[in-house]
């Protein structure tokens, strides 16, 4: 009897999996442990109970299968999203890879993490960053307010040179090379990767430079906190209606986790996985899959990869949800911050990775 286990791989090279609630999504092998298992004939032999009897796989051509339900044919769309189509075309074709091949693909590790830096409280450090050597004048009021509310917290401003030195010192040339491969026209994407690396190593609170606070972080951070998460108020009629609800994070109730702020203890496993998956997407970047412009930033370095790295592990590690807006953080004290940049990344169309 054939006991070899197989998983479904899309034409993008991503693997089909499911959330604990039975919502389907897909990601690169390095990012997930898939839980939809088939035999060599494509028959699904193991999956979460809520979907096991609702999916079926059928051979369509030699080596390729369709996965279907009453909704139609399953399609692994760009960026991790799942769609359903009435007809089985190329995008609706999956191939099987063995569990052994899956494990081999997972061995490609962009960075080795030092587990000795694990802390169990959030350091009293505030981090902000920008490309300029000194803080641009139009952001100074927010910084001054931030520091006035938190006089006992250490404040660090990281310019571009500081970031390069930090990454090389603590993560080495391989990670710095990945950082430098990000198109410099997408400064926000470089800042994304840096914030993950910085907070993982040092801990503390990261805030975008356009952001500030109306409270002391002493009132926000509790002694037992190790990681703080917040989502947009994106329901109908709320202040951020529709924000953070892209199909790439459709399996997450409430949508994406905000990453314009990160408050975490150094070495927290959430950030370890975020860094690993961000570097994976940089390494595997193709414009055909991730696209260019703002959407590619969301998918490769921004809130989509951040959210989908943390979400499957929420039950494993300590964290606390809070309401950033209600609890005193300010997303942008300068209004429409995109107007402050002659070439804001949201108006770019070039490839994200060089």
The pLDDT value recorded for residue 3 is 72
Place of tokens 């931030």: 146
CA neighbor of 262 nearest in space, from 326, 315, 329:
329
- Give the span between the Cα atoms of 293 and 346, in whole angstroms: 6
The answer to whether 189 touches 182, Cβ cutoff 8 Å, is: yes
The pLDDT value recorded for residue 351 is 94
CA neighbor of 345 nearest in space, from 223, 185, 190, 194:
185
The pLDDT value recorded for residue 2 is 54
Q: Quick one: tokens of 158?
A: 């990281």
Task: Give the CA count within 13 Å in the CB-facing half-sphere of 255.
Answer: 16
Q: Quick one: tokens of 173?
A: 């040339």
- Give the span between the Cα atoms of 232 and 107, in whole angstroms: 35
The pLDDT value recorded for residue 147 is 98
Angle between helices 303-310 and 293-300 (to 10 degrees): 20
The pLDDT value recorded for residue 26 is 93
The pLDDT value recorded for residue 344 is 72
pLDDT in tens, 162-195: 999 999 999 999 999 999 999 999 999 999 999 9
The pLDDT value recorded for residue 1 is 44
SS (H, E, C) 221-236: CCCCCCEEECECCCCC
Neighbours of 205 (CB within 10 A): 25
The answer to whether 281 touches 139, Cβ cutoff 8 Å, is: no
The pLDDT value recorded for residue 163 is 98
Exposed e or buried b per residue across 263-292, where buried means at least 16 C-beta atoms within 10 angstroms of its C-beta: bbbbbbbbbbbbbbbbbbbbebbeeebbbb
- Give the span between the Cα atoms of 22 and 257, in whole angstroms: 20
Q: What is the mean pLDDT of each run of 10 residues along the chain (354 residues)?
A: 82 90 90 92 90 90 91 89 88 90 80 80 97 95 98 98 97 95 96 98 97 97 98 94 93 96 97 96 91 93 97 95 97 80 75 95
pLDDT in tens, 188-233: 999 999 999 999 999 999 999 999 999 999 999 999 999 999 999 9
The average confidence (pLDDT) of the chain is: 92
CA neighbor of 11 nearest in space, from 65, 73, 86:
65
The answer to whether 48 touches 18, Cβ cutoff 8 Å, is: yes
Q: Quick one: tokens of 228?
A: 């703080």
The answer to whether 290 touches 296, Cβ cutoff 8 Å, is: yes
Residue 300, classed as helix, strand or coil, is helix
The pLDDT value recorded for residue 151 is 98
DSSP classification of residue 258: P
Neighbours of 142 (CB within 10 A): 22
Give the chain's length.
354
CA neighbor of 15 nearest in space, from 82, 61, 63, 84:
82
pTM, full prediction: 0.92
DSSP classification of residue 128: E
The answer to whether 93 touches 86, Cβ cutoff 8 Å, is: no
């Amino acid at each position: 009897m054939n006991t070899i286990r197989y998983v479904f791989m899309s034409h993008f090279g991503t693997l089909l999996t499911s959330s604990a609630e039975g919502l389907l999504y897909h990601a690169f092998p390095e990012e997930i442990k898939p839980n939809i298992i088939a035999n060599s004939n494509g028959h699904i032999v193991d999956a979460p109970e809520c979907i096991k009897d609702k999916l079926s796989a059928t051979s369509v051509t030699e080596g390729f299968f369709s996965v279907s339900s009453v909704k139609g044919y399953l399609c692994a769309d760009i960026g991790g999203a799942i769609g359903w189509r009435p007809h089985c075309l190329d995008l609706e074709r999956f191939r099987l890879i063995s569990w052994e091949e899956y494990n081999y693909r997972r061995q490609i590790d962009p960075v080795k993490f030092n587990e000795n830096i694990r802390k169990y409280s959030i350091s009293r450090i505030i981090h902000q960053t920008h490309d300029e050597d000194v803080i641009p004048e139009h952001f100074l009021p927010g910084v001054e307010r931030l520091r006035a509310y938190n006089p006992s917290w250490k404040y660090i401003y990281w310019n571009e040179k500081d970031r390069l030195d930090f990454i090389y010192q603590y993560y080495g040339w391989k990670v710095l090379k990945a950082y430098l491969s990000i198109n410099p026209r997408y400064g926000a994407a470089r800042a994304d990767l840096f914030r993950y690396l910085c907070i993982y190593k040092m801990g503390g609170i990261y805030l975008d430079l356009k952001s500030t606070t109306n409270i002391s972080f002493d009132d926000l951070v509790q002694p037992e906190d190790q990681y703080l998460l917040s989502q947009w108020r994106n329901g109908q009629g709320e202040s951020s209606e529709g924000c953070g609800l892209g199909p790439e994070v459709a399996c997450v109730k409430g949508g994406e986790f905000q990453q314009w702020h990160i408050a975490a203890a150094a070495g927290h496993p959430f950030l370890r996985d975020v860094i690993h998956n961000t570097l994976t997407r940089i390494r595997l970047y193709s414009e055909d899959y991730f696209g260019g412009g703002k959407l590619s930033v969301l998918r490769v370095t921004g809130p989509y990869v951040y959210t989908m790295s943390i979400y499957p592990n929420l039950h494993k590690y300590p964290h606390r949800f809070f309401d950033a807006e209600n609890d005193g953080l300010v997303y942008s004290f300068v209004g429409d911050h995109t107007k402050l940049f002659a070439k804001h990344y949201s108006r770019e169309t070039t490839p994200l990775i060089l």
